[in-house]
Amino acid sequence: MKNIIQSLRDIRLTTSELLAYQAIFFFVVIWCRFKWIRRNFERVATKMIGPNGYPFIGSSFDFIGTPEQVMEKILKLDNKYSPGPFKIWVGPYFGVIIIKPEDVQSVLNNSKALQKDRFYDFIKNIFGEGLLTAPIHKWRKHRRLITPSFNSTLLSQFFPVFNEKNQILIKNLKKELGKTTPFDLWDYIAPTTLNLICQTAMGYNLDNQSQHGTEFEKAMIKASELDSLRIKSPWLYLNFMFKLYLRLKGHSNVFNTLYKLPLKMIQEKRDAFTQRKILNKPSATNVTDNEKKKLKVFLDTLFELNEDGANFSDDDIKDEVVTMMIGGSETSAITICFSLLLLAIHPDIQNKVYDEIYEIFHDGDETITVEDTTKLVYLEQVLKETLRLFPVLPLIFRELQDNVKIVSDDHVLPKGTTCIISILGTHHFSELYPNPLKFNPDNFDPENVASRHKYSFIAFSGGPRGCIGSKYAMLSMKVAMSTFLRNYSVHTHYTLDDIKLKLDLLLRSANGYPVTIQKRDRRPTYIRNKKL
């Protein structure tokens, strides 16, 4: 016993050794807790295919690079593990990528999968808690109140604005006629779609204040790049780290700049709304039909709902306006640009689209109506095929609020799983679309559509949280495309293989949309071919 006591006295720890042992003990405790929290996820992960992840950072290092490189890696991942489902560790979080349409349906329609994932918190710098990012309780309330603003009757009232803004686009494009050097379609299409959504949804005309639109557009693209970088960089997950990064890179004012135009519109419309009340002028709810068409816009609807007790806060209104502006302009602009570029690459398909347009309008200049859009069947196929190849929002993230079973497999995904719907993977799945990388509008002829699963095409998402503005988008894009192609033919030196993609928050062409235009020969193809 005396020898044991003497041995213990001989053990002396230096301060550095003591700190080292404490650090090891602390690490072991943290590691055990980390493994305990992840036990349900790891139990499922061991049974699934997918890339390996490192502790805490997951597979994040696999996605370091430029937006173009990140997009290439996502495509390779989908190709390697398609049709899934397959696992991926997103930072410390367990994710499962879903591709098969039956699995997509089981997730998007599940009441336990309505919550947008924690990664949407990283884009609240842009969208706040609008419909895109709102937690379930707020989303349910706002969706119910806002949905009536997108009924067919109200959408038909937008057509005078659609026609007016697209005629301005045609006029602006005249400066590109006869040039052999390609120009970027984006420079013309993006301002047009932004102006459209501002006037149709907010009652605000940007024609004479284009500098505000340009400032908003530039801030939007930069903000998207910054938030996209944050999503794939675990070291920027903490707010103070992200703010420090913004300060060091000189981007501290990007998000404030983004909000300038929305706040300006809201204030002007609120003042006008208040003025009508003070003067006891009739509101948009009790005017004649002609007056109602002029006054009824989305922003007025929000003010009216507040009058009726909806209790939208100032931040709520700002968030819904920003969400509407970006969702209604950026997505449409990208799709129109891709569609026109694809038609330039495929002149035979462009001719077929024009022949359909000619059947409706011949060589006249009458404006397009709602009834006309229903006849543009092949043009709609072109737009859908564009969205199949290049879905503007290629990934959807949902956080499971309870265990969810995947239909095509025996896997039960545990509560807390990050469910990643790969729209790009679904749209490029060869069992659904033969030669999936080929541009083929016939993929959307009625017979082919009927033969596929309903969730084989999810460009506008699906289920209860599907895109509220899908009808607006299709109508506005049909008007823009048909007006453009009635006046100009579009050409390019690009091939389909030349299109390189990049991903910020949205899927874009890395090198823009380079084309040239010529004045349209308004004769149908069969007559032109006879002359030849």
- pLDDT for res 358: 93
Most confident stretch, 247-251, 452-456, 524-528: 452-456
pLDDT band, residue 310 (cuts 50/70/90): confident
Burial of 132 (0-12, 13-18, 19+ CB in 10 A): buried
**Dist CA 395 CA 457 (whole Å):** 13
> Which stretch of 3-7, 133-137, 524-528 has the lowest confidence by average pLDDT?
3-7
> Which stretch of 9-23, 212-226, 229-243, 509-523 has the lowest confidence by average pLDDT?
9-23
Residue 291 has pLDDT above 60, yes or no: no
User: Would you say 419 is a known binding-site residue?
Assistant: no
pLDDT band, residue 288 (cuts 50/70/90): very low
- pLDDT for res 97: 92
Residue 284 has pLDDT above 60, yes or no: no
Residue 285 has pLDDT above 50, yes or no: no
Residue 79 has pLDDT above 90, yes or no: no
Q: 234 vs 57, 59, 231, 489, CA distance in Å?
A: 6, 10, 7, 47
**Dist CA 103 CA 362 (whole Å):** 45
- pLDDT for res 496: 94
Global confidence as pTM: 0.89
CB-side neighbour CA atoms (13 Å) of 261:
29
- pLDDT for res 258: 92
Domains of the chain in start order, with CATH, are: 36-279+292-529 (1.10.630.10)
SS (H, E, C) 466-479: CCCCHHHHHHHHHH
pLDDT band, residue 281 (cuts 50/70/90): low
CB-side neighbour CA atoms (13 Å) of 16:
0
Per the CB < 8 A criterion, the answer to whether 521 and 528 are in contact is yes
- Containing H/E element for 488? strand 488-491
CB contact set of 177 (below 8 Å; sequence gap of 6+): 488, 517, 518, 519
pLDDT band, residue 152 (cuts 50/70/90): confident
Residue 29 has pLDDT above 50, yes or no: yes
pLDDT tens digit string along 156-209?
888 999 999 999 999 999 999 989 999 999 999 999 999 999 999 888 888 766
Compute the mean pLDDT over every residue in the chain, rounded to the nearest whole number.
86
- pLDDT for res 400: 94
Beta-sheet strands, E only, within 91-194: 93-98, 183-184
- How confident is the model over 111-140, as a mean pLDDT? 91
Of 218, 332, 211, 225, which Cα lies nearest the Cα of 264?
211
Per the CB < 8 A criterion, the answer to whether 232 and 63 are in contact is yes
- Higher per-residue confidence, 151 vs 445: 445
pLDDT band, residue 2 (cuts 50/70/90): low
pLDDT tens digit string along 374-420?
999 999 999 999 999 999 999 999 999 999 988 877 788 999 999 99
pLDDT band, residue 64 (cuts 50/70/90): confident
- pLDDT for res 378: 97
Q: 491 vs 13, 185, 353, 465, CA distance in Å?
A: 78, 11, 14, 38
Angle at 193 between CA 487 and CA 482, to 5 degrees: 30
Residue 214 has pLDDT above 90, yes or no: no
Q: Which residue has the tokens 């400032």?
A: 215
Share of the chain above pLDDT 90, in %: 53
- pLDDT for res 262: 93
- pLDDT for res 306: 86
pLDDT tens digit string along 331-388?
999 999 999 999 999 999 999 999 999 999 887 788 899 999 999 999 999 999 999 9
> Which stretch of 133-137, 315-319, 386-390, 406-410 has the lowest confidence by average pLDDT?
406-410
